């Protein structure tokens, strides 16, 4: 049987790019059958760009402050992404609200990681808001991007306990660690065709996923393929 060819991916970032790094590492280790064709940032000089360059991945900066409307920025971004003909667009700490046009264009082939157990704490400052709300559990979610902000159907989540002495920093560290586990996993499933979205519904192995997969319920030593 012939080996599956790597799925072309474009990753969008705004900053540190540690999730990008986790995905690069999973490609290198063979856990993701994908190839990152380009990394695009809306901010110049961010560390994520350096990470990509170190691995020989083409990078582009499209500075959103140079556009006088969200529509114009998104139109340019869409055009730049399409140059690489990706079959998957991965938002990895991309801190921009996207227009409906853009989202419709990539719907079903765009994933995002969000630092909360969705539907809790959509939007920003999720760790502080989790602390303020006094929740027992916090975590992160990978979801398909739809026009509802942080509201697309969730594929996988990872949960951590919130401890009495937690602050934003400690929560960030533990949640990001979980992100680096579940995002590469979800990307690998997408690349091998195991997950899809149709009419706002996630399908895993062609069956509707009735609720998000919880990372801690996966078999030990789960492999990405
Ligand atoms: C991650 O925690 C990610 O969940 C969050 O930004 C961070 C990026 O870290 N994304 C969002 O808040 C999206 N709304 P990274 O640049 O090191 O991957």
**pLDDT tens per residue across all 225 residues of the chain:** 557 899 999 999 999 999 999 999 999 999 999 999 999 999 999 999 999 999 999 999 999 999 999 999 999 999 999 999 999 999 999 999 999 999 999 999 999 999 999 999 999 999 999 999 999 999 999 999 999 999 999 999 999 999 999 999 999 999 999 999 999 999 999 999 999 999 999 999 999 999 999 998 887 544 444
Q: What distance in angstroms lies between residue 21's CA and the mean position of ligand 1's atoms? A: 12
Within a 10 A sphere around the Cβ of 93, how many other Cβ atoms?
22
Instruction: Name the strand (E) or helix (H) holding 197.
Output: strand 195-198
Axis crossing angle, helix 18-28 with helix 47-54, rounded to the nearest 10:
10
pTM (predicted TM-score): 0.96
Q: What distance in angstroms lies between residue 163's CA and the mean position of ligand 1's atoms? A: 22
Pocket of ligand 1 contains residue 92 by CB under 6 Å? yes
């Amino acid at each position: 049987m012939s080996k599956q060819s790597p799925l072309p991916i474009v990753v969008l970032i705004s900053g540190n790019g540690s999730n990008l790094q986790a995905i690069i590492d999973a490609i290198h280790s063979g856990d993701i059958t994908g190839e990152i064709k380009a990394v695009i940032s809306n901010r110049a000089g961010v560390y994520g760009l350096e990470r990509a360059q170190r691995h020989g991945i083409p990078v582009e900066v499209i500075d959103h402050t140079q556009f006088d409307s969200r529509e114009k920025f998104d139109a340019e971004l869409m055009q730049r992404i399409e140059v690489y003909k990706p079959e998957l667009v991965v938002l990895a700490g991309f801190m921009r609200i996207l227009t409906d046009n853009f989202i419709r264009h990539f719907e079903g082939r765009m994933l995002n990681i969000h630092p909360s157990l969705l539907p809790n704490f959509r939007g920003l400052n999720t760790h502080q808001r989790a602390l303020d709300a006094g929740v027992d559990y916090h975590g992160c979610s990978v979801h398909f991007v739809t026009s509802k902000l942080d509201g697309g159907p969730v594929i996988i989540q990872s949960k951590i306990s919130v401890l009495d002495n937690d602050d934003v920093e400690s929560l960030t560290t533990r949640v990001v660690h979980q992100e680096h586990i579940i995002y590469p996993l979800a990307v690998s499933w997408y690349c091998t065709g195991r997950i899809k979205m149709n009419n706002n519904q996630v399908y895993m192995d062609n069956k509707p996923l009735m609720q998000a997969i919880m990372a801690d319920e996966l078999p030990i030593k789960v492999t990405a393929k």
